[in-house]
Structure 1
Amino acid sequence: MSHVIADTRFSVLDRSRTREGQEGGQALRDTVRLAQELEALGYHRFWVSEHHSVPGVAGSAPTVLAAAVAAATRTIRVGTGGVMLPNHQPMVVAEQFGVLESLFPGRIDMGLGRSVGFTDGIRRALGRDKDDAGRFAEQLDELLGWFDGSQRAHPQVHARPAEGLRVPPYVLATGEGAAIAAAAGLPLVIGDLRGRDRMLAAIDGYRSAFRPSAWAEEPYVVVSGTVAVAGTEDAARRLLLPEAWSMAYSRTHGVFPPLLPPERIESLTMTEKERGFYEQGLRGHLYGTGEHVREALEELVKESGAQEVLVTTSTYDRGALLDSFRGLARAVGLPGAGAEAAGADSAGLPQAEADAPA
């Protein structure tokens, strides 16, 4: 095991994707179970997301879901990837994370994004406008002020029980968001892997502009994207089909649907436009056998200097998804994968030589 991989943390973001014929509640329960399984494998943190009025995603209330995940686990860090700050009042977000940190001290992360609702209708329902994303830096400053008591916009108002607590904040970003993270002195979570050159340029800009803060003395980079591991390259690529089709469908029909099984997708007759988006959705991800993915991850970490990789993979078959996470855990030597990695796995990987750092 190379020191590059051994020194890198590996974490997971799960978006509570629904499957064809499945209710949202099942997807949410699957998210909680997945967190338990990944904790046993030794992943560093488990995050959940925020999406509104999306048929294919059940995760609309990330702090509520994070509470369920934290209650069902013991050691893995739990957080959001992320709470979309422009959709909310900063004081309310501070209160929610204050409650989470009070209930599960030392395990909660506050991942924050700058997106607003996907359509005009959703934004109206949330009481927001697309221009609210432009106030992200201002909202972020207010939010952090509710924790350290420095906010002055609302005199004699306090966010209880958040004030005085330390909940690590992370900024989810591309482009301009990376500059906001640097100016605020916060860790950066950036993707996706399909736009490697753009991502690396944003990381370089973040590091060069980073200003130390009370929250982080040095830059901290988390790169996020899809990583799929299976016994063969073809089997790993097949895991990508459901998400690629959902993305293609959303780009051509305006609706992000539940995941379909790969065999259904392979039998579809696609329009030229659908096929173009579908093929585009399959490019740029990291997939293959454990050995191949480990080598690709080592190259990614060397290029980006990232301290952490946040895996965002989803697919129709939950068992195959868990097998992929198990294969990745063996490939990068996570501590909980040791028993399964005795000897060699289906991809021919040797037993892990070193654990990921705590």
Structure 2
Amino acid sequence: MIPYSLLDLSPIPAGATPADALGNTVSLARHAEALGYHRYWLAEHHNSTGIASAATAVVIGHVAGQTRTIRVGAGGIMLPNHAPLQVAEAFGTLETLYPGRIDLGVGRAPGTDQLTAQALRRGVLNADRFPEDVVELLGYLKPAEPGQPVQAVPGQGTNVPVWMLGSSLFGAQLAAYLGLPYAFASHFAPDALDEAVSLYRERFRPGVIQAPRFMLAVNLFAAATDAEAHLLRSSMLQNFINLRRGAPGPLPAPVADLTTVASAGEIAMADRALRVVAAGSPQTVRDRLAGYIGTYQPDEIILTGHIYDHAARLRSFEIGAEVMRGL
């Protein structure tokens, strides 16, 4: 059995509040811990009325404080939005409070629109400094060098595990060059998946870790029947379509017929972008996950899935854990 983890964006269902979403996150994290999930990751997004995890480090601290053993981290922090020193201080503080349980995944995308990036006081040009920022960040987390003029306190010497996140060949090359573990965003941008995984493994050189470690992201919608699972998935498809329309918002309620809310072209676009998915009954989910594991040989699977009804979401990840334990 390979480790299985969970990615949560703290989605805000239509008609709910950010407080409801964050309460659901704590509930799901506790559930995931009891089910044997290895990590519980949250992601940074800004200016979205449908996501409650914008202050990602704050939410990570809250979740870590409400759980006991599961690793909690960022999947990820969008480094162009932040000074590396501040990220090291935040995650060094988390590691100091919850030793041995904190992860830091970093990404190159801003996680928002240009206007919001300006409001964050970090412009799009900061993405060009991403490799240098990653190296600087790593320097703040390892033991201090003699005479090092700037130190992260807390942070220096905490050695918080850093993961490279990516949806293109750029992240794969940088992760390989620096010897970092690599998580690919196949749950929403799978087009470069095959090439990125091959490139990462072929070019990897020992660095922060001594051998390549690849994490595959898979959308999960599990229920008693295939039909019920596909109904649950319709919320995330609608959400993605709304995002591409330039109208992001709360997670919509499921619909039996997507053609009543979107065009055939929009549905095909969303289905293609979100095609790395295990949706169906336990047996269907098992077949799909076994197929992905056989094809990509990941060192770890991270499951995600925006489901409108919280009880159905808990059950979906419960089935996911049962399947993963049996593989």
Show CA shifts across 1:241-284 (max 9, x none).
011001111212x1211111113875834345544445545644
Q: Equivalent residue for 1:336?
A: none
Q: Which moves more between the two structures, 240-249 or 283-292?
A: 283-292
For residues 313 and 35 of structure 1, what CA distance do their matches in structure 2 show? Answer: 14
Q: Secondary structure at the match of 2:239?
A: helix
| Alignment partner of 1:292 out of 258, 280, 284 | 284
Shift of 1:149: 4.4
| Mapping for residues 202-351 of structure 1, pairs under 5 Å | 202-213=196-207, 215-252=208-245, 254-263=246-255, 266=258, 268-271=260-263, 273-280=265-272, 283-333=275-325
Shift of 1:18: 0.4
Shift of 1:218: 0.4
For residues 14 and 151 of structure 2, what CA distance do their matches in structure 1 show? Answer: 45
Shift of 1:235: 1.2
| Alignment partner of 1:25 out of 19, 44, 47 | 19
Shift of 1:21: 1.2
Tell me the number of residue pairs that the alignment of Structure 1 and Structure 2 aligns: 326
5+ unaligned residues in a row in structure 2: which ranges? none
Q: Which moves more between the two structures, 191-200 or 18-27?
A: 191-200
- Contact 1:66–1:80, Cα closer than 8 Å, also in 2: yes
Shift of 1:131: 2.5
Percent identity over the alignment is: 36
Q: Equivalent residue for 1:61?
A: 55
- Contact 2:184–2:215, Cα closer than 8 Å, also in 1: yes
For residues 161 and 222 of structure 1, what CA distance do their matches in structure 2 show? Answer: 28
5+ unaligned residues in a row in structure 1: which ranges? 1-5, 334-351
TM-score, normalization by structure 2: 0.93
Q: Equivalent residue for 1:79?
A: 73
For residues 185 and 278 of structure 1, what CA distance do their matches in structure 2 show? Answer: 33
For residues 273 and 218 of structure 2, what CA distance do their matches in structure 1 show? Answer: 12
| Alignment partner of 2:195 out of 201, 208, 228 | 201
The structure-2 alpha-carbon separation of the partners of 1:291 and 1:275, relative to structure 1 and needing over 3 Å to count, comes to closer
Show CA shifts across 1:98-120 (max 9, x none).
11011100111111111115222
- Contact 2:187–2:274, Cα closer than 8 Å, also in 1: no
Instruction: Find runs of 4+ consecutive structure 1 residues off by over 3 angstroms.
Output: 149-152, 193-197, 263-284
Q: Equivalent residue for 1:13?
A: 7
The structure-2 alpha-carbon separation of the partners of 1:203 and 1:99, relative to structure 1 and needing over 3 Å to count, comes to same
For residues 188 and 210 of structure 1, what CA distance do their matches in structure 2 show? Answer: 10
Show CA shifts across 1:204-240 (max 9, x none).
1001111101x21100000012022111111111111
Shift of 1:170: 0.4
Letter in 1 for 2:85: M
Show CA shifts across 1:337-356 (max 9, x none).
xxxxxxxxxxxxxxx5x8xx
Letter in 2 for 1:308: E
Letter in 1 for 2:163: Y
Q: Secondary structure at the match of 1:128?
A: coil
Say if 2:151 is the partner of 1:158.
Answer: yes
Q: Equivalent residue for 1:115?
A: 109
Letter in 1 for 2:192: R
Q: Equivalent residue for 2:133?
A: 139
The structure-2 alpha-carbon separation of the partners of 1:80 and 1:64, relative to structure 1 and needing over 3 Å to count, comes to same
Q: Secondary structure at the match of 1:260?
A: coil
- Contact 1:241–1:282, Cα closer than 8 Å, also in 2: no
Say if 2:161 is the partner of 1:168.
Answer: yes
Larger radius of gyration: 1
Shift of 1:194: 6.9
